[in-house]
């Protein structure tokens, strides 16, 4: 998000599975630093942060996006959250940009 805010004119929407207060300090600080670039913060309200709540957050984002951009770790396609999100986008017929890191 920091890179995007500093290097693009893209509108930024933050989506968290629970609340912003539940996010790690580094994430909360990044949100504050980019507050002038953020057009919306969506808190999905999950009481507990766990894999299913992050998967639900990722599906929420894909359902509202025109395309998905993912940065999976280099190596074989696996069961990571990034790959699950990219594969969900494909199942919805949405274009994907995959940038291995």
Give 34-46 pLDDT, tens digit per residue: 999 999 999 999 9
pLDDT at 7 (0 to 100): 87
Domain ranges for the chain, please list them. Answer: 1-48, 50-101
Does this model's pTM top 0.85? My answer is no
DSSP 49: -
Nearest CA to 31 out of 47, 46, 12 is that of 12
Note the pLDDT of residue 45: 96
Q: What is the pLDDT of residues 17-40, one digit of tens each?
A: 999 999 999 999 999 999 999 999
How many beta carbons lie within 10 A of that of residue 60, not counting itself?
14
């Amino acid at each position: 998000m920091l890179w995007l805010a500093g290097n693009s004119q893209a509108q930024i929407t933050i989506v968290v599975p629970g609340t912003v207060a539940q996010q790690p300090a580094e994430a909360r600080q990044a949100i504050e630093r980019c507050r002038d670039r953020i057009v919306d913060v969506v808190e999905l309200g999950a009481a507990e942060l766990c894999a299913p709540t992050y998967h639900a957050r990722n599906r929420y984002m894909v359902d509202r996006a025109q395309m998905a951009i993912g940065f999976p770790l280099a190596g074989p396609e696996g069961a990571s959250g990034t790959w699950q999100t990219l594969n969900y986008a494909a199942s919805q017929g949405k274009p994907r940009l995959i940038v291995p890191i």
